[in-house]
A and B are shown apart, each in its own frame.
Chain A
Amino acid sequence: MSKREKVVKGAIGELRFISELCDFCGCCVAVCPVDCIELEESRLTLDMNSCIYCGNCPKACPVGALVGDAA
């Protein structure tokens, strides 16, 4: 993690998961700084109690299955 790209808590206000679009590729898991996403074969689970709404996973999702709404 470089100095220029800090994890910002609450950078987004809401996180929506549109499960129909998800391809279970794991991009979101790779960029989650608090490890709150679990990916099994065809199941993605978000632990919203741990989520810090940093906005990394909507950036990384190749298919728009994770959407961050404005803070």
Chain B
Amino acid sequence: MIRDSYDVIVVGGGPGGAVSAWFAARGGASVLLLEKDRDIGIPVRCAEAIGQGGLQGILEPDPHFIAHEINSLRFIAPDGTRIDIQQTDEVGYMLNRRIFDQELGRKAASAGAQIITHAYVSGLIKNSDSIRGVKVRFPAAEKEIRAKIVIGADGVESRVGRWAGLRTFYAPKDLESCYQVVLGGITVDKNLISLYFGNEVAPGGYAWVFPKGDDIANVGIGVSAAMIDGINAKKHLDQFIERHFPKASILACVSGGVPSAKPFKKIHGSGIMLVGDAAAHASPLTGGGISNAIAAGRLAGEIAAKCIADGSWNEKDLSVYTRMWDKRWGDNQRRLYRLKETVFKLSDDVFNKAAAVLVSIPTEERSIKKIIATTLKNNPKILLELARTFF
């Protein structure tokens, strides 16, 4: 039974939304989570990799939703040079997002949040200066539901922030336009993820092969929306598959946008907070966004519960969210953004030269740090370009 009002309404049932709902409910607030699709976790618009640290304090790693561990990375330069890195210190996981998202939804529900799918939020209820709830379209009905705080976790296509008067849309250069397939009938090393670079392969982005087993992988491509010139992401991926996996079968396909933007100046307002891709929380360099959305969701959920308990949730009360988010993650996001601006503007020639130097480092000595150090030492042009990213 849906009530007419809640303390907190969360819009969107991805990881950011589910964790927001979970921690708001755990802190004692009455919570409603609304998901526009029929199912939590479907469709999977994600390459499904997460760093080990991303689960900490949230879920114990469980084979139920983890396909397997990732322990190596391979970068492929435009000329085909392969640079392999064995990750010894930080392990990553390949997730089964359908199950993972359901698991987070289950946690939110167990904490007391009410979850409703097939519920499209079509607008906000506002009074002069604050948000008072949401307008929802169900398959056979429309309803206005009041809330003290609305948390917008409605993804890269977020409109909740805009309706609340926050500036949240993405410039084409800050959006990676992506297309991904699940490829079967292939042979891959399941613990190794591969990233392909080059202006032919993926202008302003990269192509990825993220195995989900020895004979199956998420294979996708992201291209900068500002650099698409008649060849969209799907066409780029078709070419990539034709070249690298000509005999593979396509078991599933999906398109989607990944933010690669600087942090938004403000991700809160009176009675509103934004979480995850709705707030540009994904890494501007890699596009990875699950752990960032989870971390921000937890922060937003805890702040929401505290404000409800304290009896005040105006613009000033919720400003702590933007402030704390920026204090914890803002500088890193801005650094990654500068790095992205540099890396994706490198010419194929510079990329190839750097790769040639890097393969000369013995495999066992390769680490991200060492690679950066060697690149700097041997290639002053990259040094100059990378140096700019840090200042």
B partners with A: yes
What secondary structure prevails in chain B residues at the interface with A?
mixed
By the criterion CB–CB under 8 Å, are B178 and A62 in contact? yes
Which among B63-71, B228-236, B361-369 touches the partner chain? B228-236
Those of B147-171 within 8 Å (CB) of chain A: 155-159, 162, 169-171
In whole angstroms, what is the CA distance A64 to B38 when docked? 26
Contact of B177 among A2, A27, A33, A40 (CB under 8 A): A27
Cβ of B37 under 8 Å from chain A: yes
Cβ of A51 under 8 Å from chain B: no
By the criterion CB–CB under 8 Å, are B179 and A62 in contact? yes
Those of B1-53 within 8 Å (CB) of chain A: 36-38, 45
Cβ of B359 under 8 Å from chain A: no
By the criterion CB–CB under 8 Å, are A27 and B255 in contact? yes
By the criterion CB–CB under 8 Å, are A62 and B226 in contact? no
B interface residues, tally (CB under 8 Å): 35
A-to-B contact residues, CB < 8 Å? 1-2, 5, 23, 25-27, 29-33, 35, 38-41, 56, 59-64
Q: Considering the complex of A and B, which 8 residue pairs feature the smallest CB-CB distances, nearest first?
A: A26-B157, A62-B233, A29-B157, A27-B257, A62-B255, A60-B225, A23-B255, A25-B255
27 cross-chain CB contacts under 8 A? A1-B169, A2-B173, A5-B172, A25-B157, A26-B156, A27-B157, A30-B156, A30-B158, A30-B175, A31-B169, A31-B225, A31-B257, A32-B169, A35-B162, A38-B159, A41-B36, A41-B37, A41-B118, A59-B228, A60-B172, A60-B175, A60-B225, A61-B177, A62-B232, A62-B233, A62-B234, A62-B255
B-to-A contact residues, CB < 8 Å? 36-38, 45, 118, 120, 122, 137, 155-159, 162, 169-173, 175, 177-179, 225-226, 228, 232-235, 254-257, 259
